[in-house]
Structure 1
Amino acid sequence: MSYPLRRLLVFPLVMLGVSVFVFIAIRLVPGDAITAMLGTESGLLTPAQREALTAYFGLDQNWFVQFWRWLSRVLQGDLGISTTYGKPVMTIILEHFPLTLELAVLSMLIAIGIGLPAGIFAATRKDKPSDMAVRVIAMVGQSTPGFVVGLLLIFVLSVGFGVLPQMGTFVPLTEGISRNLAQMILPALTLGTAFAAAVIRISRSAMLDILREDFVRTARSKGLSRRRVIWRHALPNALIPVVTLSGVEFGYLLGGAVLVEQIFALPGLGRVVLDAIQQRDYALVQGSVLFIAFNFMVVNLLVDLAYAALDPRIRFETK
């Protein structure tokens, strides 16, 4: 347990660094925060009213004072109040994060379900026409931007055949599984197919390396079937690069796939953060990014621990 404990001790330092970075970055965005909050109505404000609003939101203080006040509240579990929604930031995050989490999980299932078998299939047929076909498909998948895939899926499946809805009011999973999946399948396919191409390439490369190892040749010499050698002996060792890539991608997806959520009009966390940046909603941006960073670190810790479960030779021991 020493390794997880050491990693957990690093969490506060990383979170502090992220908080400083996002605090400065959002304030470097050009524009006036009061004008962004009120829009055209800001032109009706008198100088006294503008000064009062600036003081109310604490924007009249220097950056150090603003950061210290915000950090003090964060240490007490308060991420602040969103000026856009008029609600606590944590409440907004918890309202929109389930959609992003579901989208990330569905995308990962699609990517692994397509990419891993395809990568293993290509590796076991190296340099054959089927291997070349899989490699070409993977290259095309990685080269095509996600928003292009999303628009093509909308045009073909929604506009052309009317199989799936293009967009509409989001239905939570708890209120209707079929309606929820009908709304989420296109965004998940958009993200999943792009990531599946990366999984194909990394799993094929890893499997080719493992198939050349001595223990695989030993297993074959014992008379084990080809299927058993591949799935029982080679695959667990080839999964480590796939798990690494999946962990990074899953952490990224938990941050919100902004373009996909924007294309399909999904009220996920990524879209909320994008709107908050445009509205100069400092508290919401800072709190959301801090929440995303924490999730990313947790995912990476779980990935590191999964290495030891996949490969008994790996041990996290103190030196």
Structure 2
Amino acid sequence: MNYLIRRLAAFPLVLIGVSIVVFIAIRLVPGDAITAMLGTEAGLLTPQQRSSLAAYFGIDQPWPVQYWRWFTGLFSGDLGISVTYGKPVLAVILERFPLTLELALLSMLIALAIGVPAGVFAATRNERPADLGVRVAAMIGQSTPSFVVGLVLIYILSAGFGVLPTMGAFTPLWQDPLQNLGQMILPAVTLGCAFAASVTRVSRSAMLDVLSDDYVRTARAKGAPERSVIWRHALPNALVPVVTLSGIEFGYLLGGAVIVEQIYALPGLGRMVLEAILQRDYALVQGSVLFIALNFMIVNLLVDLAYVALDPRIRLEGR
């Protein structure tokens, strides 16, 4: 409990630090929000019109004043007004986040469904041809960029089967689950395959360490079936590093898979942040990064709590 309280107490300090860094960083990018929003038409504005727009979006004051206004608004859930969308930043983020969350969950399920069994399979056949094949496949998967995997999958579908992935207007899961799955499965496979390679290597290494422990040899000496030794005794203890890797990767995925969202034209959080940076949408960038940082900290906290469920020998109070 003390560990949990300390971690929760650190959340505000981390978020304040993140907010200051992103506030300064986005304003160091050349250009301003009004020019990025209007393009060449910005040159047609009169000084009074430009001043009015700057005042409306809150960028007419010195940086410390802008930051203080934005920071104090956080306590009431006001993250500012998006220049790009013309509505509250929090509303824009909450519109995009469900897609990113679904993509992250599907990618994670695919990665674990492939990576953990492959790692166990390789570890139980250590230094045999099957183990070498899994290791080579994992190395290739880990070295291949996700955009290459995505383009190859699109090419295979179009050239081999004469179909293209479903793009266009995104359909939420609660409206039409089948159509939603048709839009999400290929991006999820693209991300999941790349992550599965990392899971395979980590789970194989962890299983090799666990299989040499005394309690595994004892279970075998007592005549326990090999399947029970592997999946019941060894695997739960080998999952601790896998959980660590999964938590870190899931936190990154919640930040948005920018390249994959661009390839498949998905209106997710990562693509939105990229567009906000290009448009110098200060409020949207600040709010999005703060939201992503909060998600990442929550995921890391849940990962630490999961350690105890997987291995009762771990005591968080002593960490």
State, as a whole percentage, how many aligned pairs show the same letter. Answer: 74
Q: What's the CA shift for 1:318? A: 5.7
Deviation at 1:30, TM superposition (A): 1.4
Is 1:255–1:270's contact at 8 Å kept on the other side of the alignment?
yes
Whether the 8 Å CA contact 1:141–1:194 is kept in 2: the answer is yes
Shift of 1:76: 2.0
Q: Note if 1:161 corresponds to 2:164.
A: no
Gap change, CA 1:154 and 1:253, over 3 Å in 2: same
Q: RMSD across aligned C-alpha pairs, in angstroms?
A: 1.3
**2: distance between equivalents of 1:55 and 1:251?**
36
1:39–1:63 Cα change, 3 Å: same
- In structure 2, the CA distance between the partners of 1:307 and 1:172, relative to structure 1 (3 Å rule), is same
Tell me the residue number matched to 2:303.
Answer: 303
Does the 8 A contact of 1:154 with 1:166 survive in 2? no
CA shift, 1:27, in A, is 0.6
Distance in 1 of aligned mates of 2:166 and 2:143: 24
Rounded Cα–Cα distance in structure 1 between residues aligned with 2:193 and 2:240: 21
Q: Is the 8 A contact 2:33 2:83 kept in 1?
A: no
CA deviations on 1:179-206 (whole Å, 9 max, x unpaired) are 1111111100110000000000000000
Is the CA contact (8 Å cut-off) linking 2:115 and 2:197 kept in structure 1?
yes
Matched, 1:46 2:46: yes
Return the alpha-carbon distance in structure 2 between the equivalents of residues 233 and 163 of structure 1: 45
Task: Name the residue aligned to 2:189.
Answer: 189
Q: d(CA) in 2 for partners of 1:162 and 1:27?
A: 47
Do the aligned partners of 2:166 and 2:182 also contact (CA within 8 Å) in 1? Answer: no
Displacement of 1:50 in angstroms is 1.8
Contact 2:57 2:81 in 1 (8 A): no
- Do residues 6 (structure 1) and 6 (structure 2) align? yes
Q: How many residues align?
A: 319
Gaps of 5+ in 1: none
Q: Matched residues in 2 for 1:172 and 1:193: separation?
A: 24
Measured after TM superposition, the shift of residue 178 of structure 1 is 1.0
Cross-structure match for 1:209: 209
Q: How do 1:21-100 residues align onto structure 2 when only pairs under 5 Å count?
A: 21-100=21-100
Give the TM-score, by structure 1 length.
Answer: 0.97
Q: Flag as ranges the 4+ runs of structure 1 deviating above 6 A.
A: none
Cα deviation, residue 163, structure 1? 4.7
Amino acid of the structure 2 residue aligned with 1:232? R
The two structures have a TM-score, normalised by structure 2, of: 0.97
3-state SS of 1:174 partner? coil
Superposed, 1:99-110 pairs within 5 Å as 99-110=99-110
Q: What is the letter of the counterpart of residue 49 of structure 2?
A: Q
Q: C-alpha separation between the residues in 1 aligned to 2:169 and 2:252?
A: 25
Shift, 1:83, TM fit: 1.2
Q: Is contact 1:164-1:183 (8 Å) kept? A: no
Structure 2, unpaired ranges of 5+ = none
**1:116-127 alignment, distance < 5 Å:** 116-127=116-127
- Alpha-carbon distance in structure 2 between the residues aligned to 1:164 and 1:298: 37
Contact residue 164 and residue 182 of structure 1 kept, 8 A: no
Deviation at 1:75, TM superposition (A): 1.8
| CA distance in 1: counterparts of 2:165 and 2:238, whole angstroms | 38
Question: Which string of whole-angstrom CA distances, capped at 9 and with x for unpartnered residues, describes residues 93-150 of structure 1?
Answer: 1111000000000000000000000000000000100000000000000000000000
Q: CA deviation at 1:218?
A: 0.9
